[in-house]
Structure 1
Amino acid sequence: MPSHRFRLILLSAALLAAPLAGCGEDKAANATAAAPPPPKVTVAKPTQKLVSDYDEYVGRFVAYDFVEVRARVSGYLDKIHFTDGQLVKEGDDLFTIDRRPFEASLDQAKAAVEQAKANLAFAEADLTRGSNLVPGTSITQQTLDQRTQAKRVAAASVTAQEAAVRQAELDLQFTELRSPISGRIGDRRVSIGNLVTGGTTGNTTLLATVASVDPIRFEFTMDEASFLRYLDLASAQGSSSANRGMSLPVRLKLIDEDTFGHEGKIDFVDNAIDRSSGTIRGRAEFKNPDGKLTPGMFGRIQITAKPPATALLVPDAAIATEQARKFVYAVSADDVATQKYVELGPVVDGLRVITAGLDANDTVVVNGLMRVRPGIKVAPERETATKEADGTVVGTN
């Protein structure tokens, strides 16, 4: 009887163990099926490129030439020959002052010349007659001297009146105000019919201003240490210190632009450092065929600070931030992602320069950064970072 009872207990235990074993196998299978696959990421090796180190400065555009149009003669404004803000060429008519008073003055001056010439002719004839007489008998020496003096006075009067004619002709020419330079003219400051004060004094009437357009200059200030560094760089490149580094290339961007797309050259560096600020003024020249660059406009200029050297570049999308430090994810040969802390340089052609912390043989995650954690295994798709014409960084197999 006891053995029968023992067999029943063993049978019950076996029946209970079978379902429990089945549950354990199902849980293990489910655990294996629930493990997530490695995240897919795009990886690429850093781009190697010859780049230069740049310094950046903020400055303002100034016109190559800027002229205030003022009248040289006084009179009433008769005509205006331009539209406010238009482009004008050197020699184009801008204003006309009423010419009639100056034409009358010129006619008077010409008439005075004719009168002076008539007086001279009479004085010369009178002197000739007196010279043919016997001095001391028919004519006194005093009378002969008086006729000689009269002839000289008449000749001087002719010279003076001819000068008056030339001045009257100049005044008549000055009634036509022409553009002294090519550029863009501002708005008119005086309307037709108003009296214009001319001359060479400081109270003359300002009629308009003309600013040259192409080329245009950009003024900025640099600190003393940077100025010395540029001189050293210019000397290393074979330039003499006399030109003060004017051969250094510069690039510029406006406040609404992302890249330094305007290329120019330094054409002037001041001859003294400002004692109060410790800076020196520099000036660069840029071409401006479309007239977009406007005097008074702000911009940022880049100046080469070091000779060109090979650098590693990655897209900005590959760079992550950990508090104050920057890092990238480098993928090892066994596809494990690890953090590499890097130091950043400027942006060149849409890619970020890495100055330290990265090797040319490293493989960097450039897409899918949010799916990566340090030490996890990833499923990399290998690509090469390139830059499209519109400035976007893309991958090509």
Structure 2
Amino acid sequence: MRDNRTGVVLVHGFKSGPVTWDPFRLLAARDPELAPVTAIPFEYATGVWTANPLQVLPSLDTVADSLKDFIDTSCHRFERLVLVSHSQGGLVIQRFLARMAHEGRAADLSRVRRIVMLACPNSGAEIALTLRRLLVRRNPQEAQLRPLNEQVADTQRTVLRDFVNAREITDRTCPIPFSVYAGASDNIVPAASARGVFPDAAALPGDHFTIVKTDSPTHRTYQTLRRLILLASVDDPPSASTAAVVGSTAPDGTGHTDVTDISRETYPLPDLFAMVAAAERIADMDDPEFRRSVIQRMRVQLSPVHGFTASHRPHMRDHLVEILQRCLNHRDPRAALNAFVGAVASLRPEEKGTADLRTLMGGDR
């Protein structure tokens, strides 16, 4: 029987291990808002070479198969999963997804609510490439880190088609939002490689290694992971205080301005996640053009005094959170939320989700 906790599977990189995640796990264990979350490091053999003649370093396909069994066996009890990787770990996760799709098991991944990749060499890592080729011959993992690797490119095409851009759950497809981050000062995996072809990509402070050294609760990587993990639990909306933290975003969409400045005691607002859950049930909301129509109608309602803007997100849930976060940070949050509900109501007036949105707004619309 599965419990209602969220499992966060942590996948380390090349020449690394589960110790990479110790700073994050320590902070998460002390964070009361992450009490329903369990961090689970996944370990695999990696390195330059092995001294034991009876052993070999596994290929990424073998590591991906190991991750598959790990999720089936060690993570079976979790209702929801978030997969977080550093460096080569992102290639492992992508290979795992591709192999699941090829086996017709994509539907089994419906528990995976988000994938976060930190400094993943999606297009390879060029630093010391010539030296690596001389010193690390016949290493099946290092070969995958080289620029323009054909197998990595093939895997990414599968991941984009069957997961990132998927619209429904089938044997071969399963919509999963990806959040991809480069290290702002990473000289091992350049920002262009870390972003790759993924639509939801950004940068976090740090180099290739300090990006995961979350040494305080205010560390940007920790704050980002915290926000995304809480977002993955949207089916079970957190308390109002949690929603205030997760709903925080700066005007530029970076997520660093605390919306608790808009006090729910002095300016009561509906729960962010309840609004998202209601909006998701509205017909055509999964169509990006429909969501653009909603934003355009909001702009008309809120202009010329305040106006409204929201960045596009390819995944429906991410985009709805983005829109509603912008509403919470608007100069007049209630007017912005009413504009959202009004825009939806003008397009889909008879929907049950529309009625639920009106109820959440206290019948304002």
TM-score normalised by length of structure 2: 0.23
Larger relative contact order (CA 8 Å, sep ≥ 6): 1
Structure index of larger Rg = 1
TM-score normalised by length of structure 1: 0.22
